[in-house]
Chain A
C-alpha cells in the first residue's frame, strides 16, 4: 500500500506528466504546419551558420536592411540550421518542429518547477504542465515558433532561478547561480529582451534588502560573504551576457552597443504590418494602447482567467492577515505585469495578437494554478471548495476540445467570454501564421498530380511545393491576384478587409473549395480556368486600352466581385480622361470594397487632372484616414501640396 502511494507521489506524477507531454509533442511535431515566420527566419539562420563556417567572410546575415533580421539572436533557429547542415537532413522543417517541441517541453519543465517553488507542492507542477498544454496560444505555436516559445522557456527558467536565489540569499548555491547565468544567456541569445532578467535579479535583491534590512548588515560585516557574492554576481553578469552573444553575429560586431541597439529596435520595431483589430484595419505601428490588454482578455483560456481571479482573491485575503509572507508571489506577479505595462507605456509596435508577449503567458498560467491551490487551502468547507475546483477543471474542456478539433490551427483560440472564434473572425487577426495552408496544400498537391501548374498564394509558403518540380509558386495579394499568371490559387483570409468579410463581397466566383475553422472560412482554393483577367491587365500595361477594356468586361462576367478589375478599368478611363465613366466605375467598385485604397487614389488623380487641387487634397486626406501608409499616394500628395502652396503664395 505504501509502495503504491509512493509511486503516486506528486513528484512522480509531475515526472510522469512530463514524459506523457514529451510523447505527445514528439507524436504531433511531424504533423505540425510550417508558418510564414519560419520562411523568414530559417533562410537567415542558414546565412548565420554560413557566417561561422566561412569565418565571418559571408556577411549576408548582417545585411538585412528591410527585414531587420540581424537584430534577432534567434539562436534556436540557428541551431536547427546548423543541425540540418551538419547532418545533411532533407526534411529541414521536421528538425525545426522537433526542436520547437523540445523547447516547449522545457517550458513545461521550468514552468512546473516554478510552480513548485512558489507553492512548495509538486501537485502545482502537475497542474501547471496540464494548464500549459491546454493554453492554445502557447501549445499551438510550440512547433514552428522558434523565437517566442524558446524565449518564454528562457524567461520562465530565469525567474525560477532568480526566485531560488532570493529564497536562499545570500547563501545561494553555485548551482543556482550558474543555472541563472545559462538561463539569461539563452534568453538573450533568442531575443535581446532577455536582458530584463538582469533587472529582475537586481530588483529582487534590492527588495529583499528592504524587507530584510539585517541581510545587508550581515553581508557588509562578513568578508567571505562579500567575496562569494562578488564572484557569483560577476559569474551571472559576465556569463549571462557574453554567452548569450556567442551565436549572434551582429552582437559580436560590437558586444556592448549592438545588443542594446537591438533591444531598442525590438521595442520600436520598424516593420509595420496591417492588423485586423476590433473590426478595423490598422497598422501595427499605430495600434491603440488597449491592444495588448484586449488580446489577453479575448485569447486567454477561461480556466486561466478564473485561476487569476482566485489568485487576486488569495492576495486580497492574505493582505488582511498580518504577518503573512507574500514576497515571492508578488515578485512573480511583477514579472507578469511589468512587461505588459512597459510595452504599453512606451507604445511598442506589437502585431499578430499577443505573439511578442507570449513569454508572460506561462507566468499567468502559473499564477492561475497558484490561485486555485491557494483557494483550496483557504476554503475549508467542501461546499465552497468543490465548486471552485469543478469550475476550474470544467473550463479546461473548452481549450481541450478546441485543440483536439483544430490542430494544427489550434493556436487560433478565442474564449467564449469574448464571443469565441465565431465572433472574432473578421474582427481580429485570425490565422496570421497561415497554419491552415497545410491541409489545403496537401489536397491541392494531390489534385494537381503530375500535371504542370503554377500555384498562387497570399503568403510566402513555397516550401510545401519544394518536392514537386511540376508545381511553381507565385506570391500575390489576394485582391490583386489577377495581375499574375497562375492556375490554382490558395488564399488565406487574413489581411482581407473586415468590411468585405462581413458583407461577403470577398469571395471569388471561381472558388472550388473553402476550408473552415470552427465554421469560419480560413483558406479558399481557386481554380482559375480562363485567364482573361490576367490577359486584360497585360493589355492595359501595354497601354492597349481598347483590348484591355474588352477583356476586363469579359472577365467581370465570370467574376463580378473582382474589385481589382474595377480598379484597372477605372485606370483606363483615367488615362482616357473619360471622367464621367470613371466615376461610374468607382461607384460600382466601391459597392464591393468601399475602403479600397486605389479607388481613392484614382479619384484624387482625376480631381488633380481637372486642376481641382483642394478637392484632390480632400480625397487624399480621406485616403490617409483609411490607410496612412499607402505609399503609392505619396507622389500625388506631394504634387497636390506643391500646387496648393503655389496657390497660397
Chain B
C-alpha cells in the first residue's frame, strides 16, 4: 500500500515535468536585427585597422604623383 501511495505521489510530483515535455524546445530571447553595430560585436573577426601605415602611404602616393606630373609637364614643355 505504501509503495502504491509513493508511486502515486511520485507521479503527481513528476506531472510538471511531463507537461513541460511538450515545450522542450528553445525560446530565443533576442531576435531583433540591428541597423548598426560595432565591430567588436560582430560574428566574424575583423582585420585590425592599418592607420599606422597612413603616413607612409601618403608620402609614397604624393611622391609618385608629383614625379609623374613633373615628367609629364617637362615633356610637354619640350
Assess whether B58 is interfacial by the CB under 8 Å rule.
yes
Bound-state Cα–Cα, A338 to B30, Å: 44
Cβ contacts under 8 Å, A598 to chain B: 28, 31-33
Report the minimum CB–CB distance from B78 to chain A (whole Å): 7
Q: State which of B31, B52, B66, B77 has its C-beta within 8 Å of the C-beta of A203.
A: B66
In A592-621, the 8 Å CB interface with B consists of 596-598, 601-602, 605-606, 608-609
B25 near A265: Cβ-Cβ < 8 Å: no
Most chain B CB inside 10 Å of its own CB: which residue of A207, A320, A633: A207
Residues of B within 8 A of A103 (CB): none
Do the beta carbons of A634 and B43 come within 8 Å of each other? Answer: yes
What 0/1 pattern do residues 250 to 282 of A give for CB contact below 8 A with B?
Answer: 000000000001011101101111100000000
Q: Is B3's CB within 8 Å of the partner chain A?
A: no
Q: Which of A8-16, A21-29, A324-332 contacts B (4 or more CB under 8 A)?
A: A324-332
Q: Is the interface of A mostly helix, strand, loop or mixed?
A: helix
Complex interface residues of chain B between 20 and 78 (CB less than 8 A to chain A): 22-28, 30-44, 46, 49-52, 54, 57-59, 61-62, 65-67, 69-70, 72-73, 76-78
CB pair B54 A274 closer than 8 Å: no
CB of B32 within 8 A of CB of A480, answer yes
B26 touches A575 (CB 8 A): yes
A174 beta carbon closer than 8 Å to chain B: no
**B43 and A629 contacting across the interface, CB-CB below 8 Å:** yes
A596 → chain B closest CB, angstroms: 7
Cβ B33 vs Cβ A326 within 8 A: no
A577 pairs with B25, CB closer than 8 A: yes
A264 touches B31 (CB 8 A): no
| B54–A346 touching, CB < 8 Å | yes
Q: A211-B73, A576-B25 are in contact. Are A637 and B36 (CB under 8 A)?
A: no
Residues in A175-210 with C-beta less than 8 Å from chain B: 196, 199, 202-203, 206-207, 210
Instruction: Annotate A566-607 by CB proximity to B: 1 below 8 A, 0 otherwise.
Output: 010001011111110000000000000000111001100110
Contact residues in A for B44 (Cβ distance below 8 Å): 624, 628-629
Which of B26, B36, B70 is within 8 Å of A271, CB to CB? Answer: B36
Question: A341 within 8 Å of B by Cβ?
Answer: yes
Chain B residues whose CB sits within 8 angstroms of the CB of A630 once the complex forms: 33-34, 43
- State how many residues of chain B have any CB contact under 8 Å with chain A: 43
B37's nearest neighbour on chain A, judged by CB, is A629
Q: Give the residues in chain A near B73, CB-CB below 8 Å.
A: 211, 326-327, 330
Q: Which partner residue on chain A sits nearest B27 by CB separation?
A: A575
Tell me which residues across on chain B come within 8 A of A346, comparing CB atoms.
50, 54, 57
> Closest residue to A203 on the B side, CB-wise?
B62
B76 contacts A322, C-beta separation under 8 Å: yes
Give chain A residues whose Cβ lies under 8 Å from the Cβ of B46.
285
Query: Within 8 Å of chain B (Cβ to Cβ): is A6?
Result: no
Give which listed residue, A330, A575, A601, contacts B23 with CB less than 8 A.
A575
A416 close to B (CB within 8 Å): no
Known contacts A273-B35, A322-B76: A632-B42 contact under CB 8 Å: no
- Are A265's CB and B37's CB within 8 A? no
| CB of B59, distance to nearest CB on chain A (Å) | 8
Q: Which of A193-252 contact B (CB under 8 A)?
A: 196, 199, 202-203, 206-207, 210-211
CB distance from A192 to the nearest CB of B (A): 11
Residues A199 and B62 in contact, CB atoms below 8 Å apart: yes
Measured between C-beta atoms, what is the minimum distance from B48 to chain A in Å?
9
Q: Check if B26 sits within 8 Å of A574, measured CB to CB.
A: yes
Query: In the complex, what residues of A have CB within 8 A of residue B23's CB?
Result: 545, 575-577
Considering the complex, give the chain A residue whose CB is closest to the CB of B62.
A203
Residue from A203, A483, A574, A605 with most neighbouring chain B CB atoms (10 Å): A203
Does A52 reach chain B (CB closer than 8 Å)?
Answer: no
Chain A nearest CB: distance from B77 CB in Å?
A: 6
Contacts of A609 in B (CB 8 A): 25-26
Q: How far is the CA of A402 from the CA of B19 in the complex (A)?
A: 65
**A53 contacts the other chain (CB 8 A):** no
Which one of A268, A321, A579 lies within 8 Å of B51 (CB-CB)? A268
When distances are taken between beta carbons in the complex, the residues of chain B under 8 Å from A342 are 57-58, 61
Residue A5 is within 8 A (CB to CB) of chain B in the complex = no
**CB-defined contacts of B77 to chain A, threshold 8 Å:** 322-323
Q: Give complex CA distance A320, B75 in Å.
A: 10
Q: Judging by beta carbons under 8 Å apart, are A628 and B28 in contact? A: no
Contact indicator A263/B51 (Cβ below 8 Å): yes
Flag if A577 contacts B24 (CB, 8 Å). Answer: yes
Do residues A271 and B25 form an inter-chain contact, with CB atoms below 8 A? no
Residues of B within 8 A of A139 (CB): none
Is A319 an interface position by the 8 A CB rule?
Answer: yes
Q: A273 near B33 (CB under 8 angstroms)?
A: no
B70 contacts which chain A residues (CB < 8 A)?
Answer: 207, 210-211
Shortest CB-to-CB span from A287 to chain B, Å, is 14
Q: Which residues of B contact A326 (CB under 8 A)?
A: 73
Contacting pair A267 B51 (CB below 8 A): yes
Cβ A271 vs Cβ B33 within 8 A = no
Give B residues with C-beta under 8 Å from A: 22-28, 30-44, 46, 49-52, 54, 57-59, 61-62, 65-67, 69-70, 72-73, 76-78
- Given contacts A265-B51, A283-B37, A637-B43, could you give 7 more A-B pairs where the C-beta distance is less than 8 Å? A273-B35, A575-B27, A602-B28, A628-B44, A629-B41, A629-B42, A631-B41
A-B contact pairs, 24 of them (CB 8 A): A196-B58, A207-B69, A263-B54, A271-B36, A285-B39, A285-B46, A319-B76, A322-B77, A338-B62, A342-B61, A477-B33, A545-B23, A575-B27, A579-B25, A597-B31, A598-B28, A598-B33, A605-B26, A606-B25, A608-B26, A627-B33, A630-B43, A632-B32, A633-B43
